[in-house]
Amino acid sequence: MTIEISPRDVLVVVDVQNDFLPGGRLGVAGGDEIVPLINALAKKFTQVIFTQDWHPADHISFASQHAGKAPFEMIELDYGPQVLWPDHCTWHSHGAELAAGLDIPHGQLIIRKGYNRAIDSYSGFQEADRETLTGLAGYLNERDLDRLYLVGLATDFCVGWTAIDGAAAGFDVTVIEDATRAIDSNGSLARAWADMEEAGVQRIMSRQILG
Ligand code: VGL
Ligand code: ZN
């Protein structure tokens, strides 16, 4: 049975940026494969928004900022544990641009996140300090939009955190699994699905919408 998308449902395209595609600075395996699928899904939606990872060159999440540390190691910051990453999605770099293959002219809003040097932000709703809000919930509430479908990169970080925070903020959240790809570092993918399930996030495949 296909799911009927209403004009008030929102497709949230998470971090489909050059640095997260194969060959990018934090390339996600298969990340390029989801672009045509996201374009097809977007045709079903009146409302489409994007998130964009957007870091200063000296961002605290970069391993390069911590002497003796390598990408994918963990450190402890004021707000809690932080995975260290290769430099990625730096301001105005090619890697930070949304993937050129995205063909979604009716996309309406881009939420940039991670621009504060000292605080990472996987989630499109709030920064990793769990306090600073991005304004996305306010935007959705003001426009009376409460059902979100998430696609993009990476399943286990920015998609997962956005899904969980969206559910916590009272939105009805569904992740379209085959329109995401994962980094899967140290068991992060299985953990993310378990956390999403616990938060009440639904999980579907694109054919349930595309037919
Ligand atoms: C992401 C790691 C660091 C993501 C962003 O988009 O999933 N992952 N920054
Ligand atoms: Zn990032």
pLDDT, tens only, 55-104: 999 999 999 999 999 999 999 999 999 999 999 999 999 999 999 999 99
Q: Which residues are catalytic?
A: 15, 113, 158
How far apart CA 192 and CA 200 sit, in angstroms, is 12
Distance 210 CA to ligand 2 centre (A): 30
**Before 154, cis peptide (omega within 30)?**
yes
pLDDT, tens only, 176-189: 999 999 999 989 99
Give the residue among 55, 30, 3 at the shortest CA–CA distance from 210: 3
**All domains of the chain, ordered by start, with CATH?**
9-210 (3.40.50.850)
Strand order in the sheet with 109-113: 109-113, 47-53, 9-14, 147-153, 172-181, 202-204
Q: Which atom of ligand 1 approaches the CA of 157 most closely?
A: 7
pTM: 0.98
Distance 203 CA to ligand 2 centre (A): 24
Question: Which residues have beta carbons under 5 A from ligand 2 (an ion)?
Answer: 53, 114
* Ligand whose nearest atom lies closest to the CA of 158: 1
Q: Which residues, at least 6 apart from 60, have a Cβ–Cβ distance to it below 8 Å?
A: 77, 82, 117, 118, 119, 120
